[in-house]
């Protein structure tokens, strides 16, 4: 009988048991890679977001906001 997992479970299963160097390598390998890696990074972000205090969340929001401001994207018409 096949094992059925949702995306979150599959990502967590793949990361489980990795040491810090292995996790670092997995994250670095996903950044700038094919878009197929983005959902996995989203799962990692979600896991972190749920387990950090509101002050850290505010820091992340500020960082994302600053990076978006620096991106010079123009509004879509």
pLDDT band at 74; cut points 50, 70, 90: confident
Question: Does residue 3 have a pLDDT over 80?
Answer: no
Give the distance, in angstroms, between the CA of residue 61 and the centroid of all CA atoms in the same chain: 14
First to last CA, the chain: 50
Q: What is the mean pLDDT of residues 51-58?
A: 97
Give 41: exposed, middle or buried? Use CB within 10 Å, 0-12, 13-18, 19+. Answer: middle
Quick check: is 1 in a domain?
A: no
Residue with tokens 């599959």: 10
Could you read off the pLDDT of 55-68 as tens digits, one per residue?
999 999 999 999 99
44: containing domain? 7-70
Q: How much is the pLDDT for 62?
A: 97
pLDDT band at 9; cut points 50, 70, 90: very high
Quick check: is 32 in a domain?
A: yes
The number of domains in the chain is 1
Euclidean distance between CA atoms 19 and 38, whole angstroms: 21
Quick check: is 13 in a domain?
A: yes
- Does the reported pTM lie above 0.85? no
């Amino acid at each position: 009988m096949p094992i059925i997992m949702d995306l979150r479970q599959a990502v967590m299963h793949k990361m489980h048991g990795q040491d810090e160097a292995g996790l670092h390598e997995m994250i670095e390998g996903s950044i700038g890679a094919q878009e197929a890696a983005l959902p996995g990074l989203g799962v990692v972000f979600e896991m972190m977001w749920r387990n950090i205090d509101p002050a850290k969340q505010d820091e992340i929001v500020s960082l994302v906001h600053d990076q978006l401001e620096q991106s010079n994207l123009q509004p879509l018409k």
